[in-house]
Chain A
């Protein structure tokens, strides 16, 4: 009798798991925010497991390792001095130098480098029609995210490189928005070119 009950429970659990899995994948497919199963969201050269865990755990991605990863795919790592200088350059006003913010909308609208284009790497479709033409025309593109162990700027740079943007134009600002704000540099809130400064 007990064995029979156990069997019934196990069969029931298997049924719940099967139907639940179908429900889950269907819900993901129908959701506007659903993930694309076939997409590699983290295109990365091999990182050892230990280093990756401790790096993420301690919230520090060393500039050396980031620089090495970027160099491996032909990208350049730049610092705050380079970025501030580029911001002040007159070419920035002419859109020959552009900034791309690789964060999601809420972070972007809370504060970004003035004039920066938003490019949510994980949901690029809404941004591509605006970002790609601007990137093709620009002479220099500086991509950033939060800084620290944020990898989104790195992934966004690789994405743009694969989308046809010449690699020599692409620069990744490793310090990110946190570094920018720490130096009391101008910050714009809301949509791009809102003119609302923080």
Chain B
């Protein structure tokens, strides 16, 4: 007779909602962890393959004509591969995750732009379709088709942004370098 809903009913709904949110959050965190380790391994592999043959990488960097100053060219070719290895290790271990992921995204985005521009030049010079362009972009995987490379880089960037957003905490050694509670 118009009795009010027992408090337990609303509470049960709320509880179910909270459980669902908790599960979603847990899933998001674990998926972030998988993404984190995957990106970490990719960067270590790509970085090492370039770091162990820096002369080849130097020639590839040169082809982008970003700078005629040889000091800068040498500095980029000498340091970038090892920096990728460093970031890859941090992500794989789960150290300073958000900061590292931001560094990764900061590398991947401009690099993708530069690679796309070069592919456009090659496509124009060889009069072929954009996705038919295949060249060694200096990524560490040898010659690749540009469209596949762009897709790969977009996925890496999205993964990095996912980590910057705060996911991937599970199984992280030191997720953030800031003091607890910050």
**Which residues of A come within 8 Å of B, CB atoms?**
4, 8-17, 19-21, 23-25, 27-28, 31, 33-42, 49, 52-54, 56-58, 104, 122-123
Contacts and interface: CB of A to CB of B under 8 A. Distances in A.
Nearest to B177: A12
A124 to B, nearest CB: 12
B102 A9 contact: yes
A123 B55 contact: yes
Does more than half of chain A's interface fall in helix, strand or loop, or is it mixed?
helix
B85 to A, nearest CB: 8
B149 to A, nearest CB: 16
29 contacts: A8-B98, A8-B176, A9-B98, A12-B96, A12-B178, A13-B100, A15-B96, A15-B177, A16-B96, A16-B99, A17-B103, A24-B81, A24-B86, A25-B78, A27-B85, A33-B52, A33-B53, A37-B71, A37-B75, A38-B74, A41-B74, A49-B65, A52-B65, A57-B121, A58-B122, A58-B125, A122-B55, A122-B58, A123-B55
Nearest to B97: A12
A104 B55 contact: yes
Given A37-B78, A49-B65, A8 B125 contact: no
Contacts of B121: 53-54, 57
B39 to A, nearest CB: 14
Contacts of A42: 62, 70, 73
Nearest to B122: A57
B28 interface: no
Given A21-B79, A33-B52, 8 more contacts: A12-B96, A12-B99, A14-B99, A20-B87, A23-B83, A27-B82, A35-B58, A53-B118
Given A20-B87, A27-B51, A58-B125, A12 B82 contact: no
A25 B74 contact: no
Given A35-B54, A36-B74, A49-B65, A20 B178 contact: no
B114 to A, nearest CB: 12
Interface string B131-168: 00000000000000000000000000000000010000
Contact of B54 (A9, A19, A34, A53): A34
A54 B55 CA distance: 22
A13 B177 CA distance: 10
Contacts of B106: 13
Contacts of A21: 79, 83
A176 to B, nearest CB: 16
Contact of B87 (A16, A41, A58): A16
Interface in B40-84: 51-55, 58, 62-63, 65, 70-71, 73-75, 77-83
Contacts of A28: 51, 54, 78-79, 82
A41 B98 contact: no
Contacts of B115: none
A14 B100 CA distance: 9
A35 B71 CA distance: 11
Nearest to A104: B55
B86 A37 contact: no
A14 B75 CA distance: 19
Given A12-B99, A23-B82, A40 B178 contact: no
Contact of A56 (B54, B63, B86): B63
Interface centre among A28, A39, A52 (most CB of B within 10 A): A28
A11 B102 CA distance: 11
B126 interface: yes
